[in-house]
Amino acid sequence: MGGNFALGYLTFMLEGALWTVGLSLIVLAWGGALALVVALCRISGLAWVRTITALYIQLIQGTPVLVLIFLFYFGLPTLLGWSLSPLLAASASLSIYVSAYLGESWRGSIQSVPKAQWETAECLGLSRTQRMTRVILPQAIRIATPPTVGFMVQIIKNTSLASIVGFVELVRAGQIVNNTIFQPFAIYVLIAALYFSMCYPLSLLSRRLETRAGDKSYA
């Protein structure tokens, strides 16, 4: 193996890792907002809203994230007439991917709030909106927290695909460094280690929250 792994390369890759975190947070925020809409539409009183949302979820869950990214980065500009930056294309497509998976997971959390809670709220004369915001969602958030923290790991891992359209996050930063020193195996080991150090704490936290939620179960 030739070449030196200078400190400059390491800082460059750490900057890339910071972008991985940044992109993950953007995707979590936008994807989470969309997911809430998806979850509420899935339990809407209107049948056609439920059907369309179910179809949306089926379509997104049946398409690879990579194809979604390509669709936004290469496909959308031909429709819009202007090009999307890698950051915009990646965050938009990843948010849509997140909305389908997290939306379906959150729908489950909302529906697993015991039926008596819905009925009691109705008996107390709360409107549908009040019932949702004051009674159901606060309890659903508690149920949804462990799987959502677990899903953060999926988000972080999937941001690596943004490297393919040229967004300089951790993987792309590593590839750029590799172009100068050509030690692909060592660099990918380092990339993997950095991803592990970001994802493993979240995995542990999700597992701990899950066991704690199990103790407090009242359903």
Partner 1 sequence: MENLDFSVVLSRWDMILQGMYLTIKLTLISTFFGFAVGTFCAIGKRGRTRWLRNVCGGYVEAIRNTPLLVQIFLVYFGLSSLGLPLTAVTVAAIALTINVGAYSAEIMRAGFDSIERGQIEAAETLGLSRAQVYWHVVLKQAMERVYPALTSQFVLLMLASSICSQISAEELTAVANFIQSDTYRPLETYIITGLLYVALSLLLRAAFWLLGLMLFKRRRKLEAFA
Classify residue 127 by burial, with Cβ atoms within 10 Å: 0-12, 13-18, 19+: exposed
Q: Which is nearer to partner 1, 145 or 203 (CB)?
A: 203
Q: Please report whether residue 18 would count as binding partner 1 according to CB under 8 A.
A: no
Among positions 74, 130, 166, 208, the unique one binding partner 1 when judged by CB under 8 A: 74
Among positions 68, 92, 149, 165, the unique one binding partner 1 when judged by CB under 8 A: 68
Among positions 145, 203, 205, 210, the unique one binding partner 1 when judged by CB under 8 A: 203
What is the DSSP code (8-state) at residue 43? T
Tokens of 85: 């930056």
What is the number of H-type helices and E-type strands within the chain?
10, 0
Type of residue at 198 = M
Please state at what angle helix 7-42 crosses helix 137-158, rounded to 10 degrees: 140
Residue 123: CB minimum distance to partner 1, A: 35
Q: Please report whether residue 160 would count as binding partner 1 according to CB under 8 A.
A: yes
User: How many CB atoms lie under 10 A from the CB of residue 193?
Assistant: 9
Q: Please report whether residue 2 would count as binding partner 1 according to CB under 8 A.
A: no
Q: Please report whether residue 85 would count as binding partner 1 according to CB under 8 A.
A: no
Closest CA to 111 of 135, 136, 134: 136
Interacting residue ranges for partner 1, rule: CB under 8 A: 58-59, 61-68, 70-71, 74-76, 78-81, 153, 157-158, 160-161, 163-164, 171, 184-185, 188-189, 191-192, 195-196, 199-200, 203
